[in-house]
Amino acid sequence: MMLGSSLLAAVPGVRHAFFTSEGGVSEGVYASLNGGPGSNDDPARVAENRARMAAQMGVTAENFLTLHQIHSPDAVVATGPWNGSRPKADALVSNTEGLSIGVTTADCGPVLFVDPHARVIGAAHAGWKGALTGVLESTIDAMEKLGADRGGIVAAIGPLIRQHSYEVGAEFVERFLDADAEYARFFLPGEREGHAMFDLAGLIRLRLESAGILMIDDLGIDTYSDGRCFSYRRSVHRKEPDYGRHVHAIALERE
């Protein structure tokens, strides 16, 4: 039902989970732990799946928070249950105990953060666009505003689409090289002419390191090829009508 980071697991008073697709009630392309309210799955089943994940996180269903994600660099602070609709952003930070903050993914990179000393947590949805435009840096900045010190933050990169599964076109490569010629390191030649294989995990790690994060764990799991994972790209290749979403979450336990 869930995967974990050894670095985050070593932090006392913190619970985290990179939830897989297993252990839920959804069926078909959503089988079985689909946590995405934005999917076309039966809302009652999504609610049950999220309730199960909330229980694993040790929080109530209303305290199991995710966002309306828009592939932005924006981070917001969570202090309690949402009052109305979910905020439109791609990262959450908090220092409130008993609150689970998380992001949804289906190939993009989930990154969970904690400063063990300041007891500040964060969760970022880092697809290629968010990683390129600064969602990781925004998360760290927002954590520091709550008292964190980036030199003491631990970060974990969860399941995402890995380089051997992530073929992109020439325009995609050009966009990155226009931003920084050094990003050429994240591309290998693809099997098809004019295509390349993109290392999203490598980009995420570089951006974290460049932002001053010293302790980084990477689960190394490829969502496209791992049967425990939902994958947007795999669903497209299979011509499926929709796809499930993972939730990746972190919470401060009540002291």
Comparing CA positions, the residue from 92, 95, 81, 129 lying closest to residue 109 is: 129
Q: Which CATH number fits domain 2-161+213-252: 3.60.10.10, 2.60.40.10, 3.60.140.10, 3.40.50.300?
A: 3.60.140.10
Q: Burial level of 21, CB count in 10 A (0-12/13-18/19+)?
A: buried
Q: Give the pLDDT of the chain (255 residues) as one tens digit per residue.
A: 899 999 999 999 999 999 999 999 999 999 999 999 999 999 999 999 999 999 999 999 999 999 999 999 999 999 999 999 999 999 999 999 999 999 999 999 999 999 999 999 999 999 999 999 999 999 999 999 999 999 999 999 999 999 999 999 999 999 999 999 999 999 999 999 999 999 999 999 999 999 999 999 999 999 999 999 999 999 999 999 999 999 999 999 997
Comparing CA positions, the residue from 88, 83, 113 lying closest to residue 252 is: 113
Q: Burial level of 66, CB count in 10 A (0-12/13-18/19+)?
A: buried
C-alpha triplet 20, 26, 28: angle, nearest 5°: 100
What beta strand segments (E) does the chain contain?
A: 2-3, 14-19, 64-65, 75-77, 91-94, 100-105, 109-115, 120-126, 154-157, 167-169, 187-189, 195-198, 215-218, 246-252
Please state, in angstroms and as integers, the Cα–Cα distance from residue 11 to each residue in 115, 128, 196, following that order: 9, 29, 38
Q: Is 109 in contact with 186 (CB distance < 8 Å)?
A: no
The predicted-structure confidence for 82-112, as pLDDT tens digits, reads as follows 999 999 999 999 999 999 999 999 999 999 9
| Sheet containing 2-3, strands listed edge to edge, beginning at the edge strand earlier in sequence | 2-3, 14-19, 246-252, 100-105, 64-65
- Given this model, what pLDDT does residue 255 score? 78
The predicted-structure confidence for 178-212, as pLDDT tens digits, reads as follows 999 999 999 999 999 999 999 999 999 999 999 99
Up-side HSE of residue 58: CA atoms within 13 Å toward CB? 13
- Given this model, what pLDDT does residue 16 score? 98
- Given this model, what pLDDT does residue 217 score? 98
SS3 98: coil
Sequence-separated (6 or more) residues with CB below 8 Å from residue 237:
none
- Domain boundaries defined on the chain: 2-161+213-252, 163-198
